[in-house]
Structure 1
Amino acid sequence: MWARRAEAAEALAGEHGAEVAGSFDELLGSVDAVAFAVPPAVQAELAPLAARAGKHLILEKPLADDLAGAEAIVDAVTGSGVAALLMLTRRFDPGVQRWLADLPDLGSFQGATGRWLAGGLLAGDYAASQWRQQDDGALIDAGPHAIDLLDAALGDIEQVHFAHRGADGLWQLVFGHEGGTTSTLTLSLRMPVQPSLVDFAVYGEHGCSPLTGRRTAALDCYAQLLDNLLVMIREKRVEHPCGVHRGLHLQRVIAAILKAR
């Protein structure tokens, strides 16, 4: 285990009986894989080093703090041939996977809506997270999860038709997907709602398919992610629906939103 603050690493390691590395290079010399839990700009700096050292990666979302950083991670991962997965937690939920698999039963898609409304920036662990507290923090942190689900449901987002962030941090977004279908997303991490309001719905010629609430505990989703990573390593597979190219696509959508707002 390694952290930029040695005292933080020692405290967490003490809880789990883990060893603490004195530097990032020392960590790379003692492990086969690296799981990142750092701000996007830090991941953009360190993940390419780990990939080029031949270490498999579990990456936070978004990949980086800008498009150039995300592209550098993708180049390092593809160049080294390591396995890498993005922590898109809900995509490793079997219930969400079934929801996505059943969507073709709706026939021709007519559109979709999404809401991701939570108060994480008002209290709790996120309240002290500087990168999340910036004006675009909700988009950068929760945005990849929500955008990914709409994109996976309707097809690649090709256009950002409308993007607005209110003074209270509430985002209103309209996307154009491949094939001409549109979706809308309302997003905030400053909404005083308990519990969080997270739901999606896809509309088609044969009706509507909703996705509400969390269907599988986060820890179980993380276990599914680790299982997927082990299969990729064992089978020497580099492509995955939640791999680095997915992360780069989401980074491009976020960049388009910031340009359009």
Structure 2
Amino acid sequence: MADDAVTTGPEHTDEPVRVGLVGAGPWATMTQAPMLTGGPETRLVGVWARRAEAARELAEPYGVPAFTEYGALLDECEAVAFAVPPDVQARMATEAARAGKAVLLDKPIGLTLAEAAGLAEAIDSAGVVSQLMLSNRYRPRIREFLARAARFDTLGAQARQITRAFVAGPFAFGWRLEYGVLHDVAPHSLDLLDAAVGKIDRVHATGDTRRWVALTLEHTNGAVSQLALTGEVPEGGYTELAMFGPAGELRLDFRDLAGDEADSAAGWATVRREFAAAVRSGRPHALDVHRGLHLQRLIDQALAGLR
């Protein structure tokens, strides 16, 4: 059973939401800044990063200031988008929420369950809107799949996310290499399995977070799913979800989506539009900080099993 993709809000607002961007690394450069400047719903008002030079390099092409003080950025925006390591995000998003700013969060929302719970508590106490950048969940073709999954009677499922995330590419460094596949890769697959098959209650894990992890997931509705994860395969990796039941099989293969640039672009536009709608309406998005906290609890269960 799929959860609702989004809490709907206004389709258009007269004034774009003024968003500050925290971070100036590959994720901020490749996705966040282009997304926030790519449509009328949001307006990028500035960039803050730990390295002032990196902030200036990212801000300059968009004609916005690079802030050297985080508080000064908060003074200029209504909302903050984060593209920084999870522990840094948990701390800085807590400060943003307490300053009354809506937050657009990356996954995972913290490195530890305690960090994630603290962030969720701060957002709830402040009463601000939050939204989680589970990028796959905004793509039209994946939403279509989840709509079919909601009507599919599932006995069990198998999924794999076999990537080269830790071998090569712009993200093969830092916290991702240190903490491994459960923090970097697993949130996407856990979220899709939870949305497509049913709420995940328990996780049983074996393996090594820096090599290969195998998870068995127990869902509230009685279904059982299995998930294989690695970021160490340099060639030939792919992501796939197959659901099985009395009606046969329902499959999502990300290789079919790899070249669909229109679908990808539509997904980023949807992130921007729905975040702006949530901020303007004040109504929480379905993929909010509590979605991130649920995924963090599943990661914590898996880590406990591995220990």
TM-score (norm 1): 0.93
Aligned to 1:57: 103
Aligned to 1:254: 299
Please report how far the alpha carbon of residue 17 of structure 1 lies from its aligned counterpart in structure 2 after TM superposition.
2.1
Please report how far the alpha carbon of residue 104 of structure 1 lies from its aligned counterpart in structure 2 after TM superposition.
3.7
Residue identity in the other structure for 2:239: V
Output aligned runs, 1:166-181, within 5 Å.
169-181=211-223
> Take 1:186 and 1:229, find their aligned partners in 2: how far apart are those partners?
31
Structure 1 pair 18–53 and aligned structure 2 pair: CA distance change class (3 A):
same
User: Which region of structure 1 is more displaced relative to structure 2, 248-257 or 218-227?
Assistant: 218-227
Aligned to 2:116: 70
Aligned to 2:28: none
2:250 aligned with 1:201: no
Residue identity in the other structure for 1:177: H
> Take 2:165 and 2:61, find their aligned partners in 1: how far apart are those partners?
25
Output aligned runs, 1:1-261, within 5 Å.
1-107=47-153, 109-127=154-172, 129-134=173-178, 136-165=179-208, 169-194=211-236, 196-213=237-254, 214=257, 217-238=263-284, 240-261=285-306
Residues 161 and 228 in structure 2, CA contact (< 8 A), matched pair in contact too: yes
The one-character-per-residue Cα deviations of 1:199-257 (angstroms, maximum 9, x if unpaired) are 1111121111101113665443221111111111222202x321111000000000000
> Take 2:130 and 2:282, find their aligned partners in 1: how far apart are those partners?
11
TM-score (norm 2): 0.79
> Take 2:74 and 2:263, find their aligned partners in 1: how far apart are those partners?
30
Query: Which segments of 5 or more consecutive residues in structure 2 lack a partner in the other structure?
Result: 1-46
Query: Which segments of 5 or more consecutive residues in structure 1 lack a partner in the other structure?
Result: none
The one-character-per-residue Cα deviations of 1:31-69 (angstroms, maximum 9, x if unpaired) are 111100000110111001001111111101000011111
> Take 1:14 and 1:104, find their aligned partners in 2: how far apart are those partners?
45
Residue identity in the other structure for 1:212: D
Q: Runs in 1 of length 4+ with deviation above 4 angstroms?
A: none
Superposed CA RMSD in Å reads: 1.5
Residue identity in the other structure for 2:228: T
The one-character-per-residue Cα deviations of 1:134-185 (angstroms, maximum 9, x if unpaired) are 1x3221011100110001111111111333227x611111111102211111
Identical pairs, percent = 38
Aligned residues, how many?
A: 255
